[in-house]
Amino acid sequence: MSVNAHRSARLGRFVLLAVTLAAGGCNSLNNATNSLAGMVTPYRVEVVQGNFVSREQVEALQPGMSREQVREILGTPLVTSLFHANRWDYVFTIKRPGEQPQTRRLTVFFENDVLQRYEGDPMPSETEFVASLGKQSKPGKVPPLEATPEQLARYPAPPRTAASEPAAEDAAAPPGAAASASSDAPPVSYPPLESSLH
């Protein structure tokens, strides 16, 4: 066997070994990625689509109102049709993770551009709607706000020295007198509260 053929055979075995190791490495990387992806759950938000209509808005509707007055109360309708020009549909859907979407519908009927009647699902009040949006978010466990005696024992207070403990007579004296009585601290003086020039 020639030297070049021997080198080619060695190079071929080396390339085969490198490809085998790379394939095994990719497989273990793929397994690690899958296990990491299984631990992480994406945040799913509640989605409200369409025109939210509250009970208060529906109660404000009165037969005989013009289209413009109805639009001011309910907003622009989600669905209008050329084939049903005397009808406006207001639809909104709440999508929550792990639950079936909830759809509410209100249909408003006009005759000669004047509100004749309306019909639809019972609508939540604004307060109920806002409260329902927050129901799904579960608050975390609130930690205790007081330390237990065992926890306090882990952090003993530093020992007090004679310089850090005030004397009994200093504790009874007013703060300004205690500062001026000490020979190390300069006397405390404050400017007068009112000017003497009137």
As a whole number, mean pLDDT of residues 105-109 equals 91
Comparing 4-8, 141-145, 150-154, the range with the smallest average pLDDT is 141-145
- Give the pLDDT of residue 65: 93
Listed by start position, the domains of the chain span 47-134
Q: How many CB atoms lie within 10 A of CB 149?
A: 6
In this prediction, residue 102 has a pLDDT band, given cuts at 50, 70 and 90, of confident
DSSP letter assigned to residue 40: -
Query: For residues 64 and 114, is the Cβ–Cβ distance under 8 A?
Result: yes
Give the residues across from 90 on adjacent strands: 106
CATH fold group of domain 47-134: Beta-lactamase Inhibitory Protein; Chain:B, domain 1 (3.30.1450)
Give me the residue label for tokens 């990719």.
Answer: 26
Q: What is the pTM assigned to this prediction?
A: 0.45
Query: For residues 90 and 52, is the Cβ–Cβ distance under 8 A?
Result: no
Could you give the CA distance from residue 52 to residue 135 in angstroms, rounded to a whole number? 18
In this prediction, residue 179 has a pLDDT band, given cuts at 50, 70 and 90, of very low
